[in-house]
């Protein structure tokens, strides 16, 4: 069977609505896309097109209004079903602001340990975290620092390591380098794109940066519903 016949991530006719009742408004036009094993797909589009909304749906943070998302051939979410706690490790996010991924008073490692324990039954937690840090091109020793004690680029690599440590099939990165200086942004995005290829993770990357989108395997442009 070819890779194209069995995508890791399959988004089928997904739409979104914000608001309720007479205030309800379509905020994501029907969107379908597939991401294969080891593939990176950039999601681009004008501000307000619904890119972050799509990312939130794939992360299981909000339900689609219609359509469904499958991961590895299994239903991940629909307008009626959310991912269960047991499934949550399968799709992980890398946020725009890495501080969203860490508890400031804890070391980075402690935050990651909590995430791995909350989402998996793994017993080799420290080994997994060290391996994930290495994949994210971060010296594992830096994980013994707090968020305030590392640079923005190191914090974002730690956020990537946090996502990897739980063993996802899909990583959703929403503007993962927009808070970084240009040189660090290139280094972090190189690590992210490289690990998709080496680990086989399907990477969905929301970006405004045409240069970053061009480095992904494919680009999908979404358009706001009212402009469709
Ligand atoms: N909590 C909310 N309540 C109401 N409308 C919302 C909410 N969050 C987002 N929207 C609307 O949904 C639409 C899509 O927003 P979204 O953040 O997904 O766009 P985006 O493409 O990621 O934009 P940007 O590139 O500016 O980040 C926008 O019209 C936005 O105003």
Query: Residue 31's closest CA among 225, 226, 176?
Result: 225
Q: Mean pLDDT for the chain?
A: 92
Question: From CA 171, how far away is CA 178, in angstroms rounded?
Answer: 17
At residue 5, the pLDDT reads 57
What per-residue string of b and e applies to 112-141 under the rule 16 or more CB within 10 Å gives b? bbebbeebbeeeebeebbbebbebbbbebe
Determine whether the shortest distance from the Cβ of 92 to ligand 1 is under 6 A. no
56 alpha carbon – ligand 1 mean position (Å) = 11
> Does residue 94 fall inside a structural domain?
yes
Gap from CA of 50 to ligand 1 centroid (Å): 6
Instruction: Tell which residue, 67, 92, 79, has the closest CA to residue 174.
Output: 92
Looking at 29-151, list the stretches that DSSP marks H as alpha helix, in order from N- to C-terminal side. 51-58, 108-119, 125-135
Q: What is the pLDDT of residue 1?
A: 46
pLDDT of residue 33: 96
pLDDT value for 84: 84
Q: Are 83 and 120 in contact (CB under 8 A)?
A: no
Q: According to the model, what pLDDT value does residue 2 have? A: 47
CATH of the domain at 96: 3.40.50.300
Residue 170 lies in a domain: yes
Q: What's the domain range around 122?
A: 36-61+84-221
pLDDT for res 35: 97
Alpha carbons 111 and 133: distance in angstroms, whole number: 13
Give the atom of ligand 1 at the shortest distance from the alpha carbon of 54: 18
The reply to whether 191 falls in a domain is yes
Is 74 a member of any domain?
no
Residue 178: the pLDDT is 87
Residue 214: burial class (beta carbons within 10 Å; 0-12, 13-18, 19+): exposed
Residue 181 within any structural domain of the chain: yes
pLDDT tens by residue, 18-65: 988 888 899 999 999 999 999 999 999 999 999 999 999 999 999 999
Q: Residue 222's pLDDT is what?
A: 95
Q: State residue 3's pLDDT score.
A: 44
> What does DSSP assign to residue 82?
P
Q: Over the chain (228 residues), what is each successive 10-residue block's mean pLDDT? A: 71 94 90 96 95 96 95 93 88 92 96 94 93 94 96 94 95 92 91 93 95 95 79
Atom of ligand 1 nearest to the CA of 50: 18
Q: What angle do CA 155, 156, 157 make, to 5 degrees?
A: 90
- CA-closest residue to ligand 1 atom 14: 50
Counted domains in the chain = 1
Q: How many angstroms separate the alpha carbon of residue 223 from the centre of ligand 1?
A: 12
In a domain, 134, yes or no: yes
Ligand 1 neighbour 52 (Cβ under 6 A) = yes
ipTM of this complex prediction, to 2 decimal places: 0.96
How distant is the alpha carbon of residue 16 from its chain centre?
18
């Amino acid at each position: 069977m070819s890779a194209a016949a069995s995508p890791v991530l399959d988004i089928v006719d997904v739409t979104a609505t914000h608001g309720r009742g007479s205030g309800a408004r379509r905020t994501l036009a029907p969107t379908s896309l597939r991401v294969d094993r080891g593939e990176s797909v950039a999601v681009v589009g004008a501000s307000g097109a619904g890119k972050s909304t799509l990312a939130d749906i794939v992360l299981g943070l909000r339900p689609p209004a219609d359509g469904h998302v499958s991961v590895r051939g299994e239903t991940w979410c629909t307008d009626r079903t959310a991912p269960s706690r047991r499934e949550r490790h399968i799709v992980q996010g890398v946020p725009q602001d890495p501080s969203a991924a860490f508890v400031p008073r804890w070391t980075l490692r402690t935050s990651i340990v909590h995430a791995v324990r909350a989402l998996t039954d793994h017993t080799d937690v420290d080994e997994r975290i060290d391996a994930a840090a290495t994949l994210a091109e971060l010296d594992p020793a830096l994980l013994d620092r707090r968020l305030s004690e590392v640079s923005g680029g190191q914090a974002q690599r730690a956020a990537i390591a946090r996502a990897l440590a739980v063993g996802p099939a899909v990583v959703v990165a929403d503007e993962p380098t927009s808070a970084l200086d240009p040189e660090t942004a290139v280094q972090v995005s190189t690590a992210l794109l490289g690990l998709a290829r080496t680990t086989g993770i399907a990477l969905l990357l929301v970006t405004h940066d045409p240069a970053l989108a061009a480095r992904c395997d494919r680009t999908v442009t979404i358009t706001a519903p009212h402009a469709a």
